[in-house]
Chain A
Amino acid sequence: MKILVCVSNVPDTTTKITFTDNNTQFNTNGVQFILNPYDEIALSRAIELTDGGKGTVTVINVGDVSTEATIRKALAIGATDAVRINAKPHDAWFVAYQIAQYVKENPFDLILTGRESIDYNGSKVAGMLGELLDLPSVSIIKKLDAGDSDATVEREIEGGKEILTIPYPFVAGTAEGVAEPKIPNMRGIMSARTKPLTVIEPVEVKTFSEIISYETPAPRGQVTLVPADDTAKLVELLHAEARVI
């Protein structure tokens, strides 16, 4: 089985998010970038499914040269090879379009993404790839069991789950539950340096969205503390003042 895992390079989860240039640019000063945690889940499952010579795992990223540390991390975790499309990821459409062009030339049995990237949270690349390649897509899966000609996935729905079988090839966005994230070992880290990382140039495409500015959530007022033995007071405040119960 040939699996493609789409990965993005995102700010570490502990990053305090700030902006510069009159709130029009994300402040990357001092920010550590990591492999998107949901993509790590996708990659870990892909490696499990192909373990023992049952297939290959290619990781693909749309990014400039600064993302190579993250791509090498994916190779260290266990991907077979990697592709970097040399362009800034303008938006989900741009990224999906570039990856779709690559997949048209290089077909895969299964294409995985994380359910969303933790920077822009769009959950869009999986669905857009599905549409561009005329393949089924399923966003936000919690479980993925691979059969010979199809896979069984569990999709999250509000207050429940849906179990589907989907024939290969298809696209899925993975969430927690699909796999435990793998940690690279020393052998993986050593071999990652020599695994193939192909750089290709992007194709031209019109884009449909631009980020104009950013805002941070409005600060909350001072906390009102209620004594531990006066829970009735808290209930009263939630009813009469906050009006939420």
Chain B
Amino acid sequence: MSVLIYAENAGGKFKKSIFEAVSYARAIADQNNTSLTAISIGDVSADELAALGKYGAQKVLNVSGDKLKNFVNQAYASIIAEAAKKENADIVVLSNTFSGRGLAPRLGVKLEAGVADGAVALPEQNGGKFTVKKTAFSGKAFAVVELTSANKVIALVPNSYKVVETGGAAQVEDFAADTKASDFKALIKEIVRSTDKVSLPDAEIVVSAGRGLKGPENWGMVEELAQLLGAATACSKPVSDAGWRPHSEHVGQTGIAVSPNLYIAIGISGAIQHLAGISSSKVIVVINKDPEAPFFKVADYGIVGDAFEVVPKLIAAVKEYKASA
């Protein structure tokens, strides 16, 4: 018995969501008095790999190779499943990223494991029952799922578990796993990463705007506020449907679900479908000229006022705060 964490890299670096997942996996290993091994696939430096020890990984299996430099869903799943067998791991943890969501179901089948996707808390293990709390109904509720299989796969939602530093460097070992030619049928032609903006699923602060902004030409102040706060920009469904902003910014029930520390909603009324996607935000600020907007009912802080007057003033206030800090 042991725990295996898949440490996904983005361009050779681990993001905070991976340190969260390693910390989470460490806590599960502690629950079971067992060891934690991490596996990394791709092109990651030895220092970066050893640093996973800081969050509680005792050993890191490093898989590299030309064909494995970029994410190949099938091949990566085969390798992680082999590593789980080698390490005698009965619990495999991933981060619930876009790639993680591709891997978890394949691993579930390979390992004959129950899969808890979208996990938001540590498992509870009582009287032989292993249960995990996960998001359900697109953020409108949570479901407590019992995994009844011997092997288990858990995908942790980013920003739902704190990074815990336990100290120590991990021992890094090269690991070679067998892959089949059929694992490499999907070919990556191009990877486009925008480096100048904070990515929405990773963001700790999100500045989001809706139809109250009246048109795409008015997004300058939203972007300025986001840039000042180191935030990602987002929008409501009508805005992306109208083509004012790309679909990748649409937050809500049929868009992306986010759980930032701070969500600032500007000119969004707060329809139930939008609220579903942001309900696990830690602090919500609403700026809307309609005091009856439903969004105020779930907000922590609110300003009733015209976005075109309030947002420039807020930008000025943030600048002043940053200058004095």
Task: Report which A residues bind B (CB closer than 8 A).
Answer: 11, 13-17, 19, 37-38, 92-93, 96, 118-128, 130-132, 134, 136-140, 142, 152, 155-167, 170, 175-177, 207-217, 220-221, 223-229, 231-232, 234-239, 242, 244-245
Nearest A-chain residue to B114, judged by Cβ: A208
Q: B303 near A137 (CB under 8 angstroms)?
A: no
Q: B297 near A122 (CB under 8 angstroms)?
A: no
Q: Which of A37, A131, A177 has the most CB of B within 10 A?
A: A131
Across the interface, which residues of A come within 8 angstroms of B254, CB to CB?
13, 37-38, 118, 176
Given that A121-B136, A137-B106, A220-B284 are known contacts, is A170 also in contact with B185, CB under 8 Å in the complex?
A: yes
Name A234's contact: one of B272, B273, B317 (CB within 8 Å): B317
List 18 extra interface pairs beyond A132-B109, A214-B142, CB under 8 A. Answer: A15-B137, A17-B140, A93-B108, A93-B114, A125-B105, A137-B105, A140-B98, A158-B98, A159-B10, A159-B193, A163-B191, A209-B147, A209-B149, A212-B131, A220-B298, A228-B303, A242-B262, A242-B300
Q: B194 near A223 (CB under 8 angstroms)?
A: no
Nearest A-chain residue to B10, judged by Cβ: A158
A237–B262 alpha-carbon span in the complex (Å): 12
Name B190's contact: one of A163, A220, A223 (CB within 8 Å): A163
Question: Can you list 22 A-B pairs with a CB-CB distance of less than 8 A?
Answer: A16-B272, A17-B137, A119-B136, A124-B108, A131-B109, A137-B74, A137-B106, A157-B191, A158-B201, A160-B192, A160-B193, A163-B188, A163-B189, A164-B187, A164-B188, A165-B187, A211-B146, A223-B297, A223-B301, A231-B303, A239-B321, A245-B262
Given that A139-B98, A164-B186, A176-B250 are known contacts, is A131 also in contact with B106, CB under 8 Å in the complex?
A: yes
Q: Quote the shortest CB–CB distance from A93 to chain B (angstroms).
A: 7
Across the interface, which residues of B come within 8 angstroms of A125, CB to CB?
105
Name B102's contact: one of A92, A119, A137, A160 (CB within 8 Å): A137
Q: B145 near A212 (CB under 8 angstroms)?
A: yes
Using a CB-CB cutoff of 8 Å, which residues 2-21 of chain B contact chain A?
Answer: 10, 15
A122–B189 alpha-carbon span in the complex (Å): 28
Across the interface, which residues of B come within 8 angstroms of A225, CB to CB?
301-304
Q: A136 near B186 (CB under 8 angstroms)?
A: yes
Given that A137-B74, A164-B186, A166-B187 are known contacts, is A121 also in contact with B302, CB under 8 Å in the complex?
A: no
Nearest A-chain residue to B232, judged by Cβ: A159
Q: A138 near B73 (CB under 8 angstroms)?
A: yes
Interface residue B54 (Cβ < 8 Å from any Cβ of A)? no
Q: Quote the shortest CB–CB distance from A172 to chain B (angstroms).
A: 10
A244–B243 alpha-carbon span in the complex (Å): 31
Q: Which of A16, A93, A163, A164 has the most CB of B within 10 A?
A: A164
Across the interface, which residues of A come within 8 angstroms of B114, CB to CB?
93, 208-209
Task: Report which B residues bind A (CB closer than 8 A).
Answer: 10, 15, 70-71, 73-74, 77, 97-99, 101-106, 108-110, 112-118, 131, 133, 135-149, 182, 185-195, 197-202, 205, 229, 240, 247-248, 250, 253-255, 257, 261-262, 272-273, 279-280, 282-286, 296-306, 309-310, 313-314, 316-318, 320-321
The 4 closest A-B pairs by CB, nearest first: A159-B199, A127-B105, A228-B305, A208-B114
The binding surface of chain A is classed by DSSP as: mixed
Given that A92-B105, A161-B192, A177-B247 are known contacts, is A118 also in contact with B115, CB under 8 Å in the complex?
A: no
Q: A131 near B141 (CB under 8 angstroms)?
A: no
Q: Quote the shortest CB–CB distance from B256 to chain A (angstroms).
A: 9
Q: A142 near B296 (CB under 8 angstroms)?
A: no
Across the interface, which residues of A come within 8 angstroms of B309, CB to CB?
228
Q: B137 near A119 (CB under 8 angstroms)?
A: yes
Q: A208 near B191 (CB under 8 angstroms)?
A: no
Q: A158 near B97 (CB under 8 angstroms)?
A: yes
Given that A128-B109, A131-B105, A214-B144 are known contacts, is A121 also in contact with B194, CB under 8 Å in the complex?
A: no
Q: A158 near B185 (CB under 8 angstroms)?
A: no
A92–B188 alpha-carbon span in the complex (Å): 28
Q: B185 near A136 (CB under 8 angstroms)?
A: yes
Given that A93-B115, A136-B73 are known contacts, is A118 also in contact with B247, CB under 8 Å in the complex?
A: no
Q: Quote the shortest CB–CB distance from A117 to chain B (angstroms).
A: 9
A13–B185 alpha-carbon span in the complex (Å): 36
Q: A166 near B185 (CB under 8 angstroms)?
A: yes
A227–B113 alpha-carbon span in the complex (Å): 53
A170–B306 alpha-carbon span in the complex (Å): 50
Across the interface, which residues of A come within 8 angstroms of B144, CB to CB?
211-215
A177–B241 alpha-carbon span in the complex (Å): 10
Q: A244 near B301 (CB under 8 angstroms)?
A: no
Q: A121 near B135 (CB under 8 angstroms)?
A: yes
Across the interface, which residues of B come within 8 angstroms of A216, CB to CB?
140-142
Q: Quote the shortest CB–CB distance from B323 to chain A (angstroms).
A: 12
Given that A118-B254, A137-B102, A244-B283 are known contacts, is A238 also in contact with B194, CB under 8 Å in the complex?
A: no
Nearest B-chain residue to A131, judged by Cβ: B109
Given that A13-B273, A226-B301, A244-B205 are known contacts, is A160 also in contact with B191, CB under 8 Å in the complex?
A: yes
